[in-house]
Amino acid sequence: MRDDRNKWPSPVLNDATRGDATRGEPTSAETETVSGLNITLSRIKLQRQVWVSGTSALQRFKCHSWPSITPGFKQAQAYSVCLRRDRVLLVNGTLMKDGWDAQLDLAITEVSDSYYVFKLVGENSLAVLRRGTEISLTTPSASAMRKLFGYDVVLYRTAEIEFCLHIDRANAESFWAHLVESIDNLA
């Protein structure tokens, strides 16, 4: 095998340890931040993320889709985002037991460590998103899942010109670079 340790630079985003709320560590401290023309990209940490799947999942949780504004985000309260016909992403919710809940007919998996979460704020946020896919505020969608720069992301709106992105942590490094490059291309 070829040794590519020098081909791929060390990751910019790096956290081997997430702040643990149970030990009184900060959980939503902003770490990495990049600013550009009327835009700020930052990495944020959320307290908890859980997938809940089932035929009743969408009704059970007041579920946000595109482009509705997710109010819970600002107050760091619990909110949920619609991913699929039968799956929601619960953010900052109560602790739930992983597995099949036979009472509620729900499949539950904690994914707090699966995602990196980024926030885009500013007038040019949509211009950055439009570099990654066809997207507009006038085309609603029941699901917050999209391909952006070819990557699967959860994308939703948290304020008028503020967006939140969840990306599988294994792809976060290159996805972050796409966002930074797009910010550089703003003009």
* Closer residue to another protein, CB minimum distance, 106 or 121: 106
**Whose Cβ is closer to another protein: residue 32's or residue 110's?**
110
Phi first, then psi, for residue 64 (nearest 5°) are: -95, 145
CB of 29 to another protein, least distance (A): 14
Query: Least distance from C-beta 35 to another protein, angstroms?
Result: 19
Please state whether 65 falls in left (phi above 0), alpha (psi between -120 and 50) or beta: beta
Closer of 71 and 99 to another protein (Cβ): 99
Smallest gap from Cβ 52 to another protein, in A, equals 10
User: Does residue 71 have a cis peptide bond before it, meaning omega lies within 30 degrees of 0?
Assistant: no
> Which lies closer to another protein via its Cβ, residue 6 or residue 94?
6
Q: What residues line the site for another protein (CB under 8 A)?
A: 1-5, 7-8, 10-11, 14-18, 20, 22, 51, 53-55, 83-87, 99-100, 102, 107, 109-115, 127, 130-131, 133-136, 139-143, 145-147, 149-150, 152, 168-174, 177-178, 181-182, 185
Report residue 129: phi and psi, to 5°: -60, -40
In whole angstroms, what is the distance from residue 111 CA to residue 42 CA? 20
**Is residue 57 within 8 Å of residue 88, measured between CB atoms?**
yes
Residues 96 and 103: their CA atoms lie apart, in Å, by 13
CB of 80 to another protein, least distance (A): 15
- Nearest CA among 160, 158, 133, 125 for reference residue 37: 125
Question: In terms of CB distance, is 18 or 74 closer to another protein?
Answer: 18
Beta carbon of residue 83, minimum distance to another protein (angstroms, whole number): 7
